[in-house]
Every structure is written in C-alpha cells, then in structure tokens.
Chains A and B, each alone.
Chain A
Amino acid sequence: MKLDRRGFVKFLVGGVVGTMLSPIPWKLTDDIAIWTQNWPWVPNPPNGANSFKNTISPFRGDGIGVSVRLIDQKRAVTLSGVPDNPINQGGMSCIDLSGVQYHYNQAVRVKSPMVFRDGAFHAISWEEATGLFIGKLKEIRDQGTPEKVALVDGSGPGTMKDLLGRFMACYGSPNYMSMPNASDTEAQILKLMYGAGGTMGYDLENADFIISFGCGLLEGWGSQRTLLAYKDWRQEGNRGKTTLIQVAANASTTSSKADQWVAIAPGAEGAFALGLAHVILKENLGNLGALTGRAFGLGSGVDSQAMSFSGFRDLVLEEYGPDKVTQVTGVSPEKIQDLARRFAKAKSPLALPGRGKGTMPGGLYEFMAVHSLNALVGAVNRSGGVGPVMSPPLTSWPEPALDSVAEKGLRNARIDGAGSRYPFSSSLLHQFADVVAEAPKSPVEMLVVYKSNPAHNAPSSKEFNRARSKVPFVVSFSSFWDETTKNANLVMPNHSFLERWEDGTTPAGVPFPTYVLGAPVLPPLFDTRPTADVILETTKALGGSIATSFPWKSYEDLLKFRVAGIAASQQGVVSVPGSLAEQQPRGFSSAGDLWSSLTENGCWYDPSQRIGKTATGFNTPSGKFEFYCNGISEGLRQAGLDPKRLNVSVQGEAVCMAHFEPAEVEGDPQRYPLLMAPEELAYVFEGEVPSSPYMTKIWPDTLLKGNTLVIHINPEDAHNQHLYEGDPVMIESLKGSAEVRVHLFNGVRPGTVSMAEGFGHTGFDGYIRDKGANTRDMTTVASDALSGMPLWWGTRVKLTKV
C-alpha cells in the first residue's frame, strides 16, 4: 500500500495522539525515572544486623578505644570512640576515624608477601617469604655478625616494641632503632633529673596555669586525653580558672585558642624558660620551700664526681636576666616579668616542653630548662603538676638467654652512636642514616622496618633513603604500600589493626598508668600475617638461645602472659561501659576476668597511681630532683668524653645544668634568608600511614591546592620579595627544593616560612600520592648538643618566584 501525503499526515497525527493516550509514554518515563534511582554503578551497601566490637586504634600510638560497628559481624562500617576509655572518653581524631578506610583500601594494602626480584615485585607464599627472611637472618648470624641487622620500629609503647627490642637483643644486634619522638627526650629527663623510668606524666586537668613551650596541645601533642583537659578548661563555668599560655614563633591553633600567645623567636624556648626562672629566683617567687631537701643543685654543692659547683640559681641569676633573654627571644622584659609572676603565683602552675605533636625530639637542655622551671614552682610530683608515671604492672619479661654470638654482637657499638658517642640517647635514626649513607660499604646487611615509614618521615628522609639504597636487603612488615615498602626487597604484610592483636602502655603525657588491649575484630581480608607471630615463628626457626627466650606459642599467648602480671598485682581498675559516667570503674577477680574485660572493653588504668597521689622519691645519685644532673657528669665520664670537647656551647658546671643552647641552623643566611618551620597540623597525619582520603575533605585550600602544597609567609616578607597570594614559588634549602604556592598569613613570624608536614607522598594511592611536598626532603637536621637527638624545627630556605 502506498502511503500518500494525506495518509502520512493522518498516520502521524493519529500516532502521536494515540501514543499519548496509551500508557506507554507514562510507563516509560516512570521506568526511566526508577532506573536513574538504581544506577548499577552506584554502590548499594548491603544491610544486616548491627553489632559493635571494641578495640584500640593503633595509628597515633595513644591507645584510644574505638568501637567498630559491624554489619552481620563481617563488615566493619564506621568507628566511634569508646566512651569509657579514659584516654579519649569517646572522642576521636580524624586518623583514628579513618581506620576502616585503611583496612579496606585495596589500592594501598599489601595483599600478600612480596619479593622484589628482577626489577619488579612478585607475590610469593608465606613459606617462601619467611624462608627468605629466616634464611637471611641465619646467614648473617652464621657469619658471626648479627650486628649487621638493623631494625626501625615505629610502634608506640607496648608489648610489640618490647618484643622487637628483645628479638634484636637475643639475635645479637644492638641496632634496634625507634622512630624519633619527644618521649625519647622525656626518657632522658626522667633518668637524669628524676631518676625514674616509666613515662613522663603531665596532670593537665588539675593544673591552673600552663605555659606550653611550643607544644601543639591542640594539634595532637600527647594523647587524645590532652583534648579532654582542654575541654574542661573551656567548659562553661570553668572559664578563667585555668590559664593557657602558648610560647611559639607562629600563630597555631594552640596559640589562637590559648589565653595568651607569647610570640617568640624560633628556637629560643629554652632561653625563655630560663628567663622566667630568673624572675622567679630573683623575686623569690616560686615554691622554693617545697624544694627544701628535695632538690639538688639549686644552690652550690659537690657532685658525685667530687666536682664542686655553684648551682642553678647562680647560673640563672647571672646569665638569664630579662634584658639578655629579651635579646634572644624577642619578648619584652615586662612581658617576661609579668608572665613569671603570674606563673609563680598560680596555685598549680605547669610548664610543658616539646614542639608540635611531639613527633620531634626536643633539645635536652631545653627540656631541662622547662623541667627546672617546673621544679622551681613546685610542680614536680604534685597534683596538677609533672612527674614520672610508673609503667603498668605487666609481667616483666624473663631474662633473655644470650648465646656467644649474641653477646659478641651486642658488644659492638651501635651504628648510630647512641650509648657511646651520645651516652644519653638510646636510638638516633638520623645518625644511623648519616653513617650508612657515608660509608663506602654499608655496615648493615639487612634493615627491617616495622610500623613506620622512614623513607618518607625520617628526620631527613633524603639521608635515610641514601642509606637505605646502600643496604643490600630491606624487609618491610608494612600492611601498606608506603614509600619504605615500595623500596623494600621483601614485604611481609602485617594484618590490619582490625585483624590483629594490639596493646599499648601509658601514652605520652597521661598522668596515671594505663594499659590497653585490642583483639582482632575481623578475619584477615588478604593473605597477611601478624608480624608478632612472624617474629615468634622466626625465633623458633632460629633455634638455640633465641628460641628459648621466646617460649610463647603465639602473640595472644604472650599478651596473656603479660596481662597476668596486672591481674597478679591487683592494682587498678578496668573500664566498663558507663564506668566513667558513674565514676565507678570495676576491679577484677582473676587473670581470666581481667583478660576478658580487657578484650571486650580495652582499657586498664590505675587512678591511684596518679601524679601527686603517691609519694615518689627520686632515684637519682643524690636521691633528689636534680637541677644539676649528676647523671650527665657520670655519663660523660663513663663514655670517656671530655666535657670540654663536646658540641656544647658552655663549659664547666653548666654542662650539667639547664642552659640555653643557641640554635645551630645549617646554611648561609645570605643565600637562604628565611627559616622554614615544619608545621604539624591536627588534620594532617604522618606516621605509619599518611592522611586518609576521608581527611582530605578537612583540608582548607590554604593548605593544598590541587597537587601543590601551600606554604605560609608573612605579608611583609612577601612584599619584600614581590610575592602575591597564590604565587607559585620554588622553596629551596641545602637539601632539596619543591614547587609550592604562597599564602600570605600574618600569623607567620617575619623571616620564617611555615610549611605543613605530611605531604609529598610517592606511595599509597591517588588520594595522597604526589600531593604537595615533603618537608623532610628539605630539612637540614641538627644534632642536639649532648644528646645527639635530631632537631629539625628550622631549616634555612630561600624562595624564588617561578
């Protein structure tokens, strides 16, 4: 049939009308609309029964309790704080909240053991991996050179740290290193001034006048508990009861939230503390009466080496008058006087040493100055003050059995010089890196890295990587494809924190002993193994005295052994749901009871051992708090070091007392006119893992813009260099350079540049990789006088417009 024109039009019109009257278009639009609601590429998270399991979050090393929400007991979805954990009381940090995201992130997890062969990584079986590891260990040991194995450990205080240290000792290598930390300096202070072990506690909650010498209290200093104290200070009704003074070069969160910010020349914190001490001593303010019979070296005396000295009072009165301190610190004499008086007159004054989050060790003398200041105002071992916190009463480790190889190996001096050249330090990663990098042939044959990423965040990552590239065999236990792991020869991935046992002892700053324990929450997602069990397996394979030193079947077994000690001591209490709210935590009847409540709720603590609650003596040579540290003169003598030839700016008795060591920053001030201060931020994390994808949402665009890091400079400096907001510049130091953008910020001290830490990753996935620049690639690391600890708070840089 031929359709004529008329027919066609009829057909057309009829068709349209007919279709519109039929249900077809309506049904179709409806279906289409429904389809847009169910796009197959939009994930649809399956629902199921909710349950919660408590564990601890390992990232910050402060053992906060987290509650994992599980769907059908097999899928972890969100994390929240455990309200009755005394360290965080339910509060969380952004990295801890990201735990599940790290657990599931396929792109960053190492899914099976890997070996680097012929220019590429190959997946291997666990048998092969442990075989390789053990074989290599045996080989090195058989050559009689166990000291050629070095280990870098990034774990916080806890059983794992002890286990790895013990393993190295039994194997016969002194070269166990931890990632540098302010606790290292605190440990030296505890030993030298307090004559104590354990950890340094600061009773922030009960202090009423706090001077923080650059601590990033609100950026992550200490543990999450610091923030609980801050919360109390700012509680409606408590306002004005506690005063927080922040002494720092740049405007930080802490300085802005403090009651007063004392802007100080960078690196002059020690001088400032001594300036305050001067006013207190001169005006006889302080709480000097409290020190009678309890302090050594405030006045003149004779030390344990029979050397007479005139003491701290004279030193401070002579050397640290306000005018001189003003010159160094840039703070007016009036301000110094005023602050000293207010501080000394407060009921519970407390001074805090340490910069940023406390991931950087401090100058030993600087810390001594702050602790001396605490002693002058009677803050030592007092409620609302400072003092040593005993370790939790875990079963102590049995004496390790050492065979002749181990004994011989341990007699070697540590590569990093800790204990020999630097008698007061126990681990100096940057010195190790320097030595290995400079040596014609690496003194280390095998480097083992656990829970840390030194290739990115060693004090000078450049130096570490130079050293690492010389080491023939690098083993990483990391769960993630971090920079260190990407450059390892053998990777034996650890379980994620949701899959493994984890514990921790008192975190930095907490004023009473704590012990936290986290049990596995989920079965392993990939072909991974807990490192602790790999180590225990290795000890068995190595046999002999090593095997006998590690009688435990598994890590769980070892933890039970350790926890039994707490049960036996019958000290302390365990947190139970609602315990904090009701202020009635619970004791425990048996080791089994303790174990089960620990695995369920995660935390033991002992409020009766809080600072100031127990009478604590000083186990120093003098039996007193030592302004003049006998330990220093003894240590120097034992190490055979001549005090006159040390890298210390003073001579004579001042070597043993707090004094100001001027900052030694490498580089020509003419060529590198600005000082780069690495900035640690609460919302940027740097540790075992970097910031999570979740966290990238927090970042303001004055921190990172696209893939470019934004550094902050004072408008004055910008003006001098003709730089405008957002300008791309090259920042360059002696060690390295990077392209960044500038943000003009009044809060940066003129002459300095503030650059955020935690960027410039080359490992992990696209959410963090190649974003920004790594400050550690640029830092010139200074070694602290006497302790040799790495200091990198200032690096000379120059900016050139690109």
Chain B
Amino acid sequence: MEKRHGIGEGVKYGMVIDLDKCIGCGACVTACVAENNNTILEDETNKLKSITWLRLYKFDNKKPYPETEIGYLPRPCMQCDSHTPCVSVCPATATDYDPDTGIVSQIYTRCIGCRYCVAACPYHVRYFNWFDAVWPEGTEACLNPDVSPRMRGCVEQCTFCHHRLMAAKNKAAMNGSREVAEMDYQPACVEACPTRAIVFGDLNNSKHRVYELKQSPRAFRLLERLGTQPKVYYTTTHEWIRGMSDNWIDKEKGKEKEKAKAHS
C-alpha cells in the first residue's frame, strides 16, 4: 500500500472520478465522442465492435429487491503508469508512453493493426477500427479538426484529449510560461460533467485538486492488484463497488472490509 500513490515522477496527468457524484447521465461519453471524432455505427449495441473511448459501465449489486443498487462507472483509458501493458507489447512502437506527461498515445498512421495491445489491456480501453470511418450523413461537418479521424484497421484509445494539452502548452508558451495551468488543460469529459464528478490534473502537483483527492481513503483504482498503476482513480462510499472493482475473491471480502474500516 505504500507505493499506492507513487505515480512516476514529474508531471503525471490523471483523474479522480467520484462515483458517488457520477449519475450515469452519459454527458462525458457524448462529449468525448464529439471531441475525439469517434466513428458511430448504426448499431452501437454491439459493444464488441463499437468504439467508445470513454465507456460508461452500468452494473448493480445483485442484491434482491429492494436492496438493489445501481452503479455507474465511466471508464476512460487508465493511462497505466507502470509497465503500461499496451505500450510494451506494440511491435511497431505505435503506442507510446510520454514520460513527461504520463499520457499514453497512439500513432494511428504507424499502427499495423495486429491488436496485440487490445489483447494486453485488461480495461478494454483499446479499440480496433473494424469498420471504415462513418458518421451520420452530413455530420462530418462537425468533426473536430484537432483530432484526425482514424482509418480502418488501426487501434485507437483515449488520450486524455492530448490535443488540448498541446493547445494549453501553446497558450502557456505565448504567455512566456512553461507550466500549463490546471484549468487550461481539461479533457472534454471533465468539462461536460454536470455534477463535476471527474477531476483532472497533475497527480504529482500538490496544488492540483487531484493530488489531494487521490489520497482519500475511499480512493481506489481498477484492478489495482494487477500492478498496472492506473492514473485514473475512483472514489466511492459504496463498499460493494470498491470490492467489485478489484475482483475480490469471496474469501477476501471480509478481510478487505476490515482493512477498509481500519483505514477510514
């Protein structure tokens, strides 16, 4: 547990998503799709082939009526910090981890489409373009020029709206600064969230809100024990969501609960 908050060194962008505040309204998903020019299939219910950089998971606690509870979990790319699964496997160096920001990026034009990274990622954040890029008739006009549409046959994933970081860096440079201000670089999902459930910033910068939030005793990360060191944290007061998020084996549930209690 000591290393829990040890995320690299220098600037490491990350998120803290408050699942108690998240109401599953899907604004983040919509904002993401619009910002990042995700292609849209006529049948998006085929979750196995559709592209959703930010996917909203809906689940429940499986308890009988009326103890049933619904939970939502927005899942962007976890931007794993340690031995990033997708980066290490890519044979063509099309996936890259930027040590200066901690952001995992994808060079679409270099990707050969072998999908090894798709297999390597446990969070299912990596999407292969099974289809040619399609949008509803005429709506190509509202594609974002900052993000190039992808060609069929390559893999893509959430980049924390990396193009916005570029813009913010430019802005900072124009002002003669080298540091990007916290609010100058915010991904589209963060901006759209009506309950401000998603907070974004530099995890290593004590002046940024995420720095404080990630240290909450209620904070956790998805599949933490795999050791991927995601830079996306979640917080919740709902114990069952916490337990679900790391595949607690039945016999562990009691133990972890005690630990969590001792912690808070």
- Checking A47, A104, A695 against B138 with a beta-carbon cut-off of 8 angstroms, the contacting residue is A104
Pairwise interchain contact A697-B70, C-beta atoms closer than 8 A: no
Contact residues, A15-45 vs B (CB, 8 A): 36-37, 39, 41-45
In the bound complex, what is the Cα–Cα distance between A41 and B132 (angstroms)?
A: 8
Within 8 A of B (CB), among A761-787: 765-767
List A contacts of B141 (CB < 8 A).
Answer: 75, 104
Chain B residues with CB under 8 A of A37: 108-109, 151
B120 close to chain A: CB less than 8 A: no
**Given A47-B145, A100-B142 in contact, is the A694-B33 Cβ separation under 8 Å?**
yes
CB distance from B131 to the nearest CB of A (A): 11
In Å, the complex CA distance between A109 and B136 comes to 12
List, in ascending order, chain B residues with CB within 8 A of A553's CB: none
Report Cα–Cα, A544/B12, bound state, in Å.
71
Contact (Cβ within 8 A) A251 B45:
no
Is A73's beta carbon under 8 Å from chain B? no
Chain B residues 130-178 with CB under 8 Å of chain A are 132-133, 135-146, 148-153
- State how many angstroms separate the Cβ of B152 from the closest Cβ of chain A: 8
Q: A252 touching B151 by the CB < 8 A rule? A: no
Contacts of A78 in B (CB 8 A): 31, 34-35, 142, 144, 188
List of A residues within 8 angstroms of B43 by Cβ: 706-707
**Distance, CA A695 to CA B56, complexed state (A):** 11
Q: State which of B18, B46, B56, B70 has its C-beta within 8 Å of the C-beta of A252.
A: B70
A71 touches B145 (CB 8 A): yes
- Judge whether B68 and A42 touch: CB under 8 Å: no
Q: Is B80 an interface residue (CB 8 A)?
A: no
Which residues from A are CB-within-8-Å of B42? 766-767
Q: Is the CB of B145 within 8 A of A46?
A: yes
**B20 interface residue, CB < 8 Å from A?**
yes
Give the residues in chain A near B243, CB-CB below 8 Å: none
Pairwise interchain contact B50-A697, C-beta atoms closer than 8 A: yes
Do B23 and A45 touch (CB < 8 A)? no
The minimal Cβ–Cβ distance linking A338 to chain B, given in whole angstroms, is 16
Render B50-73 as a binary contact track against A, CB cut-off 8 A, 1 for contact: 101000111010111111111110
Contacts of A41 on B, CB cut-off 8 Å? Answer: 132-133
- How many angstroms between the C-alpha atoms of A71 and B145 in the bound complex? 8
Q: A261 interface residue, CB < 8 Å from B? A: yes
Interface residues of A in 699-749 (CB under 8 A from B): 699-702, 704-707, 714, 745-749
Given contacts A261-B66, A682-B25, A746-B65, contact A94 B191 (CB under 8 A): no
Please state if B27 and A92 are interface contacts (CB–CB under 8 Å): yes
B27 touches A97 (CB 8 A): yes
Which residues of chain A come closer than 8 Å to B45, judged between CB atoms?
A: 696, 699, 701, 704-706
Is A88's CB under 8 angstroms from B194's CB? Answer: yes
Nearest to A701 among chain B residues (CB) is B45
Q: Is the CB of A91 within 8 A of B140?
A: no
Alpha-carbon gap, A184 to B108, bound state (A): 53
- Per-residue CB proximity of B29-47 to A under 8 Å, as 1/0? 1110111011010111111
Contact (Cβ within 8 A) A42 B60: no
Q: Does B122 contact A (CB under 8 A)?
A: no
Q: Provide the bound-state CA to CA distance between A103 and B38, in Å.
A: 18
The answer to whether B85 has its CB under 8 Å from any CB of chain A is no
Q: With an 8 A cutoff between CB atoms, is B24 at the interface?
A: yes
> Is B137 touching A107 in the complex (CB atoms < 8 A)?
yes
B191's closest neighbor in chain A, by CB? A80
CB proximity of A144 to chain B, nearest CB, Å = 46
Min distance, Cβ A253 to any Cβ of chain B, angstroms = 6
Q: Known contacts being A92-B194, A714-B65, A765-B137, is A682 close to B132, with CB within 8 Å? A: no
Q: Which residues of A contact B62 (CB under 8 A)?
A: 746
Q: Which residues of B contact A106 (CB under 8 A)?
A: 137-138
Cα A455 to Cα B140 with chains together (Å): 30
**B138 and chain A: residue at smallest CB distance:** A106
Residue of B nearest to A108 (CB): B136
Asked if B78 is at the interface of the complex by the 8 Å CB criterion, the answer is no
> In whole angstroms, how far apart are the Cα atoms of A42 and B33 in the complex?
17
Shortest CB–CB separation between residue A243 and chain B, in angstroms? 14
Q: A753 to nearest B CB, angstroms? A: 13
Select one of B52, B64, B149, B197 contacting A697, CB under 8 A: B52
Q: Mark B182-206, 1 if CB is under 8 A from A, else 0.
A: 0000001001111111000000000
Q: How far is the CA of A101 from the CA of B30 in the complex (A)?
A: 11
CB-CB nearest in chain B for A748 = B65
Q: How many Å lie between the Cα of A76 and that of B33 in the bound state?
A: 15
Interface size class of A (residues with CB under 8 A): 35 or more
> DSSP majority for the A interface?
loop
B133 to chain A, nearest CB (A): 5
By a CB distance below 8 angstroms, the chain A residues around B26 are 94, 682-683, 695, 698
Give B42 Cβ to nearest chain A Cβ, in Å: 5
| B60: A residues at CB distance < 8 A | 251, 256, 745-747
A42 touches which of B20, B38, B149 (Cβ 8 Å): B149
| Inter-subunit contact A697/B38 (CB<8 Å) | yes
| In the complex, B237 has a CB within 8 A of chain A | yes
Cβ-defined contact, A253 with B145, below 8 A: no
Q: How far is the CB of A325 from chain B (nearest CB, A)?
A: 17
Question: Does more than half of chain B's interface fall in helix, strand or loop, or is it mixed?
Answer: loop
- B151, A42: Cβ atoms closer than 8 Å: yes
Q: Quick check: A42 and B133 within 8 Å, CB to CB?
A: yes
Interfacial chain A residues near B63, Cβ < 8 Å = 746
B88 close to chain A: CB less than 8 A = no
How many angstroms from the CA of A275 to the CA of B65 in the assembled complex? 23
Name the B residues within 8 Å of A105 (CB-CB): 136-139
Q: Does A236 contact B (CB under 8 A)?
A: yes
Partner of A94, one of B25, B64, B108: B25
A140 at the interface (CB under 8 A from B): no
Cβ of B52 and Cβ of A750 under 8 Å apart?
no
Q: Would A698 and B29 count as touching, CB distance under 8 A? A: yes
> Which of A48, A88, A236 is the most central at the interface, judged by chain B CB atoms within 10 Å of its CB?
A236
Partner of A253, one of B24, B144, B191, B237: B24
Which residues of chain A come closer than 8 Å to B56, judged between CB atoms?
A: 683, 698, 700
Which residues of A sit under 8 angstroms from B247, Cβ to Cβ? Answer: none
- Which of chain B's residues has its CB closest to A224's CB? B194
Q: Which residues of A contact B193 (CB under 8 A)?
A: 91
Rounded to whole angstroms, the CA-CA distance of A696 and B41 in the bound complex is 9
- Chain B residues positioned under 8 Å from A48 (CB to CB): 145
Q: Given the known inter-chain contacts A91-B194, A105-B137, A228-B194, please indicate yes or no for A44 contacting B149, CB distance below 8 A.
A: yes
The reply to whether the CB of B125 lies closer than 8 angstroms to some CB of chain A is no
Interface contact A682-B24, CB-CB below 8 Å: yes
Task: Give a binary string over B1-35; 1 marks a CB under 8 Å from any A CB, 0 the rest.
Answer: 00000000000000000101101111101110111
Smallest distance from the beta carbon of B44 to chain A beta carbons, Å? Answer: 4
Of B24, B25, B29, B68, the residue contacting A747 (CB under 8 A) is B68
Partner of B34, one of A79, A227, A707: A79
Q: Are B237 and A239 in contact (CB under 8 A)?
A: yes
The answer to whether A101 touches B194, judged by C-beta atoms less than 8 angstroms apart, is no
Chain A residues within an 8 Å CB radius of B31: 78, 80, 92, 97
- Of A81, A97, A695, A698, the most chain B CB neighbours within 10 A belong to A698
Would you call B82 an interface residue if the criterion is a C-beta within 8 Å of the partner chain's C-beta atoms? no
Within 8 A of A (CB), among B92-149: 108-109, 132-133, 135-146, 148-149
Q: 21 pairs across A/B with beta carbons < 8 Å?
A: A42-B149, A47-B146, A75-B142, A77-B34, A77-B144, A78-B142, A80-B31, A91-B195, A104-B142, A227-B25, A231-B197, A236-B18, A682-B25, A683-B26, A693-B135, A694-B34, A698-B56, A702-B58, A746-B64, A746-B68, A765-B137
- Top 9 nearest A-B pairs (CB, nearest first) are A91-B194, A263-B66, A106-B138, A698-B26, A747-B68, A683-B26, A45-B143, A696-B44, A682-B25
New A-B contacts (18) at CB < 8 Å, excluding given A78-B144, A261-B66, A698-B26: A37-B109, A39-B132, A75-B141, A77-B145, A79-B34, A91-B192, A94-B26, A227-B23, A231-B21, A234-B195, A236-B18, A252-B70, A683-B24, A694-B34, A696-B45, A706-B46, A747-B68, A747-B70
Interface residues, chain A, CB within 8 Å of chain B? 36-37, 39, 41-48, 71, 75-81, 88, 90-94, 97-98, 100-101, 103-109, 218, 220, 224, 227-228, 230-231, 234, 236, 239, 251-253, 255-257, 261, 263, 682-683, 692-702, 704-707, 714, 745-750, 765-767
